[in-house]
Amino acid sequence: MTVFRLPDLGEGLQAAEIVAWHVAVGDHVVADQPLVSVETDKAVVEVPSPQAGRIARLCAAAGARIHVGEALVEFADAAAPDAGAVVGALPEAAKPPPALPVASPQPRESAPRAMPAARALAARLGVDLAGIAGSGAGGTITLGDVEAAAARADAGPTGFVPLSGVGLAMARNMARSRDAVAPATVCDDADVEAWPPDADFTMRLARAVIAGCRAAPALNAWFDGEAQARRLHAEVAIGIAVETEAGLFVPVLREAARRSMAELRSDFEGMKRGLADRSLPAEALRGATITLSNFGLLGGRYAVLSILPPQVAILGAGRIAPRPAVHGGQLAIRRLLPLSLTFDHRAVTGAEAARFLEAVIADLATAS
């Protein structure tokens, strides 16, 4: 018998939640075959088998939260371990710890259609998926459906429903931002009257962010609060906030300054599809050097936004609307785009923030 333990998933993540098992007791697997999907604070990740062998025991049930180094799978009749399968601890000969009970898998043809994260949340809250009408595509049960069902059932003695997955990660990140950043915000408006009707709003904003980074490189940076040190980046990697049914994600457009708007748009669409079906790798959500929040698509004019360390700046775009403005020395009604720039005042001066915002506004004012 050998025990495979949850490996180190990177970026200091210490725990993960079991979303769905892809194997069952008695199955024969080969090296690199997906064993289980787990949800971390970043994304849903598939954990592959480090070796060939027969599954003797699943050591955690769907919905359980386990820590790095805890038992995940017990192998019987195991072949030699494959050291290159995963990053982290390799299987070791040991007496396995008592296994958590694992429910018998429901036949696929009779199981309700549900997002993996929704299925895990339902298991943790004791919500019966069979009694939920899914609101997602093709009747798929979403996280919101499960949360609504739990609320109707008054889950828990106090009526509180615990956060999980992406929601829990967002709460932790906002607390980290509150504790680790000295935020300041400047606001202004960009005149976008010259924009054609078919302008690609999000990509125009991305291009303007690049112009701002050229004018004020201090905002395209990371800051280490403990070391009181700053790292300026030569490449611009723009994190763009995307709201999904599962929560808020920030996929990253890499090497943005080197690529055309058409290339960036194609990349962004691919990442949105990956977010929708939860296939986007965790790596696509890492490494942003500056963030863009296009909250105006949902509503609002200005905002004081939260910076996620080690980044030092986030640009927010409010809702475009016709408003009075002085143009050519005359009062006129112009289409104005409200902008909010929140920056970490430990690493960025007010003058640098102002130069960044002026460059953004100048870029947005052009017709193309």
Give me the mean pLDDT over the 147-173 stretch: 71
Q: At what angle do helices 165-180 and 116-125 cross, to 10 degrees?
A: 90
Half-sphere exposure of 366 (CA within 13 A, CB side): 10
Give me the mean pLDDT over the 285-309 stretch: 94
pLDDT tens per residue across span 108-134: 445 677 877 778 778 877 788 888 888
Name the residue with tokens 């004018």.
Answer: 215
Name the residue with tokens 């088998």.
Answer: 49
Half-sphere exposure of 36 (CA within 13 A, CB side): 31
pLDDT tens per residue across span 73-98: 999 865 544 443 444 444 444 444 45
Model confidence at 157: pLDDT above 90: no
Q: Rounded distance, CA 70 to CA 76, Å? A: 18
**Contacts for 291-295 with beta carbons within 8 Å, 24 or more apart?**
291/238, 291/239, 291/240, 291/241, 291/250, 291/315, 292/202, 292/205, 292/206, 292/209, 292/238, 292/239, 292/240, 292/241, 292/316, 292/317, 293/241, 293/317, 294/201, 294/202, 294/205, 294/240, 294/241, 295/241
Higher pLDDT, 332 or 9: 332
Give me the mean pLDDT over the 298-302 stretch: 93
Closest of 160, 157, 127 to residue 145, by C-alpha: 127
Cβ-contact 35, 24 below 8 angstroms = no
Q: Rounded distance, CA 225 to CA 218, Å? A: 15
Model confidence at 254: pLDDT above 70: yes
pLDDT at 110: 52
- Supply 304's token pair: 């004081």
pLDDT at 95: 46
Give me the mean pLDDT over the 10-27 stretch: 82
pLDDT at 80: 46
Q: Which domains does the chain have, with CATH numbers?
A: 2-76 (2.40.50.100), 116-162 (4.10.320), 170-364 (3.30.559.10)
Give me the mean pLDDT over the 309-315 stretch: 97
Q: Rounded distance, CA 154 to CA 23, Å? A: 34
Radius of gyration of the chain (CA): 24
Model confidence at 210: pLDDT above 60: yes
- Work out whether strand 313-317 and strand 330-344 pair parallel, antiparallel, or are unpaired: antiparallel
pLDDT at 132: 87
Q: Rounded distance, CA 33 to CA 59, Å? A: 18
Q: Rounded distance, CA 30 to CA 23, Å? A: 11
Give me the mean pLDDT over the 143-172 stretch: 72
Name the residue with tokens 């072949």.
Answer: 79
Which stretch of 5-19, 209-223, 236-250 has the lowest confidence by average pLDDT? 5-19
Higher pLDDT, 178 or 161: 178
- The reply to whether the predicted model has a pTM over 0.85 is no
Name the most confidently modeled range: 3-17, 141-155, 163-177, 250-264: 250-264
pLDDT tens per residue across span 28-53: 998 888 899 888 766 778 889 999 99
Give me the mean pLDDT over the 339-368 stretch: 97
Rounded to whole angstroms, what are the CA distances from 81 to 23, 91, 96, 315?
18, 7, 17, 48
Give me the mean pLDDT over the 324-348 stretch: 96
Give me the mean pLDDT over the 351-367 stretch: 97
- Residue 91 carries which DSSP code? P
pLDDT at 191: 97
Give me the mean pLDDT over the 4-9 stretch: 86
> Average per-residue pLDDT in the chain?
85
